[in-house]
């Protein structure tokens, strides 16, 4: 036969205690404040509220994950764009020179056409 472990149950919080009254104790990092807060939470949370809390926590986790992925993609895209810009700088410079040379040749071509007429 298996023996059951006896667990110590915390007594329920007094009805006069509210979360606002327990906040200073929690901020003080006092163990008695932690126990009182735990008693308060356990006495005021029922199964339906726990399910809602779990649903909200899951939804919050999903939202944080989505925002994290979106931010990661933005940073990654910015880094790739910077790297491509560095790599394409010499090509863009050469292209500008060729465009300038093309314009000069067009002007010379127009002048030669005028002379032939």
Cβ atoms 51, 44 nearer than 8 A: no
Confidence of residue 53 (pLDDT cuts 50, 70, 90): confident
Q: Tell me the average pLDDT across 8-15.
A: 52
∠68-74-76 over CA atoms, to 5°? 100
| pLDDT band of 5, cuts 50, 70, 90 | low
Q: 0.85 cut: is pTM over it?
A: no
Could you give the CA distance from residue 108 to residue 115 in angstroms, rounded to a whole number?
A: 11
Residue ranges of domains in the chain: 45-116
Copy the structure tokens of residue 23: 């906040």
Given this model, what pLDDT does residue 16 score? 45
Average of per-residue pLDDT across 43-53: 72
**Which of 20-24, 71-75, 82-86 has the least mean pLDDT?**
20-24
Residue 117 exposure: Cα atoms within 13 Å on the Cβ side: 6
C-alpha 36/C-alpha 28 separation (Å) is 13
């Amino acid at each position: 036969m298996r023996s059951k472990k006896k667990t110590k149950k915390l007594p329920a919080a007094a009805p006069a205690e509210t979360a606002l009254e327990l906040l200073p104790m929690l901020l003080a990092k006092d163990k008695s404040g932690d126990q009182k807060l735990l008693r308060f939470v356990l006495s005021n949370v029922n199964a339906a509220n726990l399910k809602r809390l779990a649903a909200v926590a899951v939804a919050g986790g999903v939202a944080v994950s989505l925002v994290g992925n979106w931010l990661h993609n933005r940073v990654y895209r910015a880094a790739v764009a910077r790297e491509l810009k560095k790599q394409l700088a010499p090509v863009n410079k050469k292209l500008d020179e060729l465009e300038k040379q093309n314009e000069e040749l067009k002007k010379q071509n127009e002048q030669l056409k005028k002379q032939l007429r």
